[in-house]
Amino acid sequence: MPPQTSRLANDHARGLVLAIVGILILSPDSLLVRLIAADQWTLLFWRGMMTFVTLTAFLLFSHRRDTLKRFHALGIKGLAIAALLALNTTLFVVSIRHTAVANTLVLVSVAPLLAAVFSSFFLAEHAPLRTWIATLVSVLSIGYIMREGLGTTNLIGDTAALGLALTLAAVLTLLRARRSSDAVPIVACSGLLLAVAVFPFSGRLFLSNSDWLYMSILGLFVIPVSFAFTLSAPKFLPAPEVGLVFLLETVLGPFLVWLVMDEEPPSATLVGGTVLVTTLALHAVLGLRLSSAVHR
């Protein structure tokens, strides 16, 4: 195998492992947010602070005196990505607290597709016709899902989920534009920015014993580890393949919530979500086949 081909194959395998492991670790996120009884601002504060502490400790352990250099290397653009990620986390928690978990995860599943559209506009990566068709079908499916929440608090959660998809798409696009960026300090900075931003709204920062347990699992393991893995994947994988892997959470997240909390997805979400996920999967598979044919 030629060196260039071997390097591409190794990069692809690395990206696939990063994405799959990251999404599997992230899957209980929605369930843990539902199980935590604290108000959303207190939850966000501890989520951000624990993420910052955990990843900074990891950087200190692995890079020691070079840790500050890793943060300094982010620059203004890296900090902008971290700020977007902090906003993304806020929208996720707001959405989970105001609508069905299935709604949140189905709506955010369009993020990789939106990232492909953003890349077309901002990175001059030509989006094929299938992407525009998939985008149209996705918009119609999202409209169908959201119409059930009109006039209810679900609309707040569904709207936050749309913002969640847009900010995640922006993060993925910016990371792809800066392939040399290290995702770990970006996620660490996003945690600190989040904690500082929500601190004025977070009251006494009180957590019950059970909340401390769930929050520790979430903030010390699930979030920092999964985000460090998944946000590293776009450097090695094309957008269609990242999109396919991200669909795992759309299935696993609601299933875990249903299993533990007996929360059934709304009927409109089942119908619209099936159309949406099928469209995204077909779009990703077509993209991978065409990409494989080009590189043969």
State CA 222 to chain mean position distance: 12
> Is 79 a member of any domain?
yes
**Which tens digits make up the pLDDT trace of 121-140?**
776 667 677 777 877 887 78
Work out the pLDDT band at 64, boundaries 50, 70, 90.
confident
pTM comes to 0.81
- In angstroms, the CA 142 to CA 279 distance is 12
> Is 194 a member of any domain?
yes
Is the distance from CB of 185 to CB of 70 less than 8 angstroms?
Answer: yes
How many domains, the chain? 1
Work out the pLDDT band at 83, boundaries 50, 70, 90.
very high
More confident residue, 146 or 86: 86
- In angstroms, the CA 170 to CA 52 distance is 21
Mean pLDDT of 44-62: 91
Q: What does the pLDDT read at residue 152?
A: 58
Mean pLDDT of 106-117: 80
Amino acid at 158: D
- In angstroms, the CA 19 to CA 246 distance is 8
> Is 23 a member of any domain?
no
- Answer whether residue 186 shows pLDDT above 60: yes
- Answer whether residue 195 shows pLDDT above 80: yes
Query: What letter would DSSP give residue 28?
Result: T
| Arithmetic mean of pLDDT over the chain | 82
**Which tens digits make up the pLDDT trace of 200-235?**
998 778 889 999 999 999 988 998 888 778 877 777
Q: What does the pLDDT read at residue 194?
A: 96
> Is 242 a member of any domain?
yes
Residue 12, class by beta-carbon neighbours within 10 Å (0-12 exposed, 13-18 middle, 19+ buried)?
Answer: middle
Q: What does the pLDDT read at residue 238?
A: 67
- In angstroms, the CA 217 to CA 26 distance is 11
> Is 286 a member of any domain?
yes
∠ CA 264-277-118, rounded to 5°: 125
> Is 13 a member of any domain?
no
CA-to-CA dists, residue 36 to 106, 162, 202, angstroms: 22, 23, 14
- Answer whether residue 2 shows pLDDT above 70: no
Work out the pLDDT band at 3, boundaries 50, 70, 90.
low
> Is 145 a member of any domain?
yes
Work out the pLDDT band at 179, boundaries 50, 70, 90.
low
> Is 12 a member of any domain?
no
Cβ neighbors of 289 (< 8 A, separation 6 or more) are none
Domain that holds residue 98: 30-294
Is the distance from CB of 56 to CB of 282 less than 8 angstroms?
Answer: no
- Answer whether residue 82 shows pLDDT above 90: yes
Is the distance from CB of 96 to CB of 157 less than 8 angstroms?
Answer: yes
Q: What does the pLDDT read at residue 9?
A: 59
Work out the pLDDT band at 180, boundaries 50, 70, 90.
low
Is the distance from CB of 111 to CB of 246 less than 8 angstroms?
Answer: yes
23: its two tokens: 């999404």
